[in-house]
Amino acid sequence: MKRRTFLTGTALGAALTAVPIVALRTAGAAETEASATVSSLKDLQKAIDSAEPGARIVLADGTYTVPSGSSISVAGKKGTQDAPITISSASRGGAVLRGERGFAFSKSSNITVSGFAFRQSTTLEIPADCSRIRLTRNDFQHADVEGVHWVMVRADNTTVDRNHFHGKSTLGVYLGIEGSGDTAMAQHVHIHRNHFSDHSFAGANGGEPIRLGVSPRALSGAQAVVEYNLFERCDGDPEAISVKSSDNTVRYNTIRDSLGGIVLRHGNRTRVESNYLLGGKEGVRLYGNDHLIVNNFLAGLSGRALVVGSGSTRDHNSDETPEERRGNDACDRAVIVHNTLYGNAESLGGETRDFEPTKVVIADNLLVGESGSLVTMGKTTGFTWQSNILWGGASDGNIPSGGFKRVDPLLRKESDGVYRLSAGSPAIGKATLGSPAVADDIDGHPRGSTRDIGADEYATAAPQRRPLTAADVGPNAS
C-alpha cells in the first residue's frame, strides 16, 4: 500500500523541538495499514470514530480550542497490542489543545496519544473501563486552576512515558493513579522517562508530582513501576513520589533541587531501588510493612534523608474508619540495605508517635556527614543493625555500638556529582547481609558474591546508570 505524506510543522507555544511524525511511531508496533492526516477537530473526531486496529491519525500542527461542554471522544475504540490505534500531533508539541476538556476516553483499549501540548482546564481522565492506554511524548501545562489534577489514571496497564509535566503553582497533582470503586488500584501502571518540573504550590500538602494511590486504597496491590523519571524544582508537596498503595516498584529516578522526596505514606511491600535524591530537602520516608530500600544515593539534602516512621496505629486494616486510615502506620520489617547518605542536614532518623517501628533491618549502609548526628532514631523494637559505615565530623548518634564501624570509606566525587568508592576503600567486600539478593548497584554494576557497603559497588568500568538530566527524559528522549 502506498503511504500518505503526513503534515509537519513548527511547534506553537510549547517550547519543544518539532520532530516529524515518523519519529513518533510506537516502538515495536506493527506497521500502520490505515492512516489519516486531519486539520480540524471535526475531522479528528470523524477519524477516531472510524478507526480500526493499526490506524494512525495525525492532527496537523496548530492551536485547537475544544468548545465548552465538548471533548475529543475516544469511545468504544479497541486496538490490539500489536496494532494500537495511534492519535498524534504532526510534530511533538505542534498540535496545541486548549479549552475545558481534551480527550475523553471510555470503554477503549490499546490507544496511544502522542505528541500533543495539553492546555486544558480540567483533568484528563483514563477511566477504569479502559485498558492499555498510552500517553507518550506529550507536554502537559494545563490551566493553573486551584485543586485540579492534571492526569488521573484508573485503567489497568496504562503507560505514561516521555512526557513533560510543568508549571503548576496551585493545589493539585500532576499525575494521580487510583482505580475503580473506593478501594481498588489500577493494575500494572508503568510510569517512565517523564520530566516533572516546577510545581511551586506553597501549601503544606496536595501538590505532588506523582500520587500513587490514596488512603482508602492503601491495602490494595497495584504492581505499578515508576522508573527513570526526573523531578526538578518540585516544591508543591514534601512528597514528590507519594505512595499510598501496596506492591509497587520505585527505581532509577532522579529528584533534584526539590522540596519533595520519596514517601511510602501508606501501603506495604514496595521496593525503592537505585534512586538519586540530590540537593533538595526531603529524602525517603517509610510507613507500612515489608518494604525494601536498596541502593539509593541521598546527598546534600537540607531536611531528613531517611526516616523510619512511627505510627498512630500499628497496622492499617480493612475495618478501620476513614480517619484512622489517614493516620500513619508504623514501619515494620523493612530492610534498608546498601544505601549511601552523604552530606545531609539529618541522615537517618525516626519519629515519636505512639507505635514505634519494629523488626527493621539496617545493614551495609554508608553514612557520611559533618554536623549533627548521623543516627537519631526514636524508640524502636527488634531492630537489626549490622555492617554500616559512619564517617565525618557528625557524631554517631544513637546507633547501637555493634551495628557500625567508624572508618574513612575513601569516597571520590565524580563528574556527575556522585560520591563513589575509591580503590582500597574499607567498604569493599565488607557487606554482610545475605538476604535479600541484590543483583547490581546504583550504577548498574553487578554486585557479585562479595558485596561492598553503600550504594556503589567499586568498579573501573563506566556506570551504566547515572543521575538523569533533562536530555534523558521528556518528549524528545530516546
Helix or strand holding residue 113 (H, E): strand 109-114
pLDDT of 312 strictly over 90 = yes
Backbone angles phi, psi at 322, to 5 degrees: -55, -40
384-386/404-406 β-pairing: unpaired
Closest among 148, 202, 145, 205 to 175, alpha carbons compared = 148
Output the pLDDT for position 20: 52
* Beta strands in 184-245, from DSSP E residues, in sequence order: 190-192, 195-199, 210-213, 225-227, 230-234, 239-244
Q: Which structural domains are found in the chain, ordered by start?
A: 144-472 (2.160.20.10)
Least confident of 168-172, 321-325, 350-354: 321-325
Mean pLDDT of 240-262: 98
Identify the pLDDT of residue 19. Answer: 52
What is the tens place of the pLDDT at every residue in 384-435? 999 999 999 999 999 999 999 999 999 999 999 999 999 999 999 999 999 8
Comparing CA positions, the residue from 403, 451, 400 lying closest to residue 425 is 451
Of 410, 416, 424, 418, the C-alpha closest to 441 is: 418
DSSP assigned state of 120: E
CA distances from 166 to 146, 196, 234, 450, 477 (A): 15, 6, 9, 43, 16
Residue 13 has pLDDT above 80, yes or no: no
- Residue 281 amino acid letter: K
* Cis, bond preceding 84 (omega within 30 deg of 0): no
CB 355 within 8 A of CB 327: no
Compute the distance between CA of residue 133 and CA of residue 111 in angstroms, rounded to an integer.
Answer: 5
Residue 336: alpha-carbon gap to chain centroid? 20
The more confident residue out of 191 and 20 is 191
Q: What is the pLDDT of residue 324?
A: 87
- Residue 14 pLDDT level (bands cut at 50, 70, 90): very low
Listed in sequence order, the residues at least 6 apart from 158 whose beta carbon sits closer than 8 Å to its beta carbon are 126, 131, 132, 133, 134, 135, 177, 186, 189, 190
Contact status, residue 466 vs residue 418, Cβ threshold 8 Å? yes
pLDDT at 314: 96
Summarize the confidence of residues 152-165 as an average pLDDT.
98
Specify the DSSP class assigned to residue 217.
G
Mean pLDDT of 173-191: 98
Residues 6+ apart with CB under 8 A from 361: 334, 335, 336, 337, 383, 384, 386, 433
pLDDT of residue 353 exceeding 80, the answer is: yes
At residue 361, does pLDDT exceed 90? yes
User: Residue 44: what residue type?
Assistant: L
Question: 78 pLDDT exceeds 80?
Answer: yes
263 pLDDT band (50/70/90 cuts)?
A: very high
Mean pLDDT for the chain overall: 93
Is the pLDDT at 205 greater than 60? The verdict is yes
Residue range 440-460: mean pLDDT, rounded: 97
Looking at the predicted structure, is the pLDDT value of residue 21 above 50?
A: no
* Alpha-carbon torsion (63, 91, 193, 102), positive or negative: positive
The terminus-to-terminus CA distance of the chain in angstroms comes to 29
In 270-406, beta strands by DSSP E: 271-273, 276-278, 284-286, 292-294, 297-299, 304-308, 335-337, 340-342, 346-349, 361-363, 366-368, 373-376, 384-386, 388-391, 395-397, 404-406
| pLDDT 10s digits, 212-225 | 999 999 999 999 99
d(CA 325, CA 327): 5
Distance CA 207, CA 122 (A): 16
> What contacts 306, CB < 8 A, 6 or more positions away?
283, 284, 285, 293, 298, 336, 339, 341, 347, 348, 349
**How far is residue 98's CA from residue 72's CA, in Å, rounded to a whole number?**
11
**pLDDT at residue 375 is higher than 80:** yes
C-alpha cell of residue 341 = 547518605
- Residue 28 pLDDT more than 60? no
What is the pTM (predicted TM-score) of this model? Answer: 0.93
DSSP state at residue 2? P
pLDDT in tens, 89-112: 999 999 999 999 999 999 999 999
How far apart are the C-alpha atoms of 136 and 475, rounded to whole Å?
Answer: 7
> Under the phi-then-psi rule, with left for phi > 0, alpha for psi from -120 to 50, and beta for the rest, what region is 76?
left
